[in-house]
Amino acid sequence: MTGSGTRSILAKAADPGRALAGKRLPRGFYARPTLKVARDLLGKVVALEADGSTKAARIVEVEAYLGERDPASHAYRGPTPRTAPMFGPPGRSYVYFVYGMYHCLNVVTESDGVAGAVLLRGAEPLAGFDEAGPRALAGPGKLARAFGLTTKHTNLDLVRSPLTVRDAPAVPPSRVVRSVRVGLNEHATTNKPWRLYVRGSSGVSRP
């Protein structure tokens, strides 16, 4: 079932115990090619512990950015003070501010010194969002705002910090849709199918 007002197609209930049942993903999960990490992040649970409570959401939409091999990546022209986290070590956060309005959360991939990151574009709320609707996290800006993330949360260690990604059942291949990334200028990688999302999920920003 899809559409507003329906239950999550990946989670039976917004239950903190269910949401956080999995272990934190280890460093080795992130220290792989960006496209593989992007695929495997679908269905995992992003979580933030703050002020004695936990917010958690199941990841249902991502985009892969391949660093210096990808003109759409912030890291395409090499490291800067802003993009330094994208060059590793893997398993850290990269949060940037865009259009003067939105923060966006990425997870850093690849081996240390090789830039790569996966943008979290959409998620299904599981715990800690106070009656959030099914589309409350459908979009990268909405996701970061719901978690209260800002650039202060960049370069956090996802393996040890209050911001983390936890294991959860994999999404079957038949449920995964691949498409071009959203809102890019024309360049060599514009038409690559490096956006992945879960078919039918209300947490996806757009078809």
* Residue range 69-107, pLDDT digits in tens: 999 999 999 999 999 999 999 999 999 999 889 999 999
pLDDT of residue 138: 98
What's the pLDDT band for 20 if we cut at 50, 70, 90?
Answer: low
Domain residue ranges of the chain, discontinuous segments joined by +: 16-198
pTM of the model as a whole: 0.90
Q: Three-class SS string for 4-27? A: CCCCCCCCCCCCHHHHCCCCECCH
pLDDT of residue 135: 97
pLDDT of residue 132: 87
CA–CA dist 205, 181 (Å, integer)? 12
* Residue range 115-129, pLDDT digits in tens: 999 999 999 999 999
* Residue range 147-190, pLDDT digits in tens: 999 999 999 999 999 999 999 999 999 999 999 999 998 999 99
What's the pLDDT band for 207 if we cut at 50, 70, 90?
Answer: confident
pLDDT of residue 100: 86
CA–CA dist 37, 5 (Å, integer)? 30
* Residue range 47-79, pLDDT digits in tens: 999 989 999 999 999 999 999 999 999 999 999
Of 22, 189, 196, the closest CA to residue 122 belongs to 196
- CATH topology for the 16-198 domain: 3-methyladenine DNA Glycosylase; Chain A (3.10.300)
What's the pLDDT band for 3 if we cut at 50, 70, 90?
Answer: very low
Whether residue 11 is predicted with pLDDT greater than 60 in this model: the reply is no
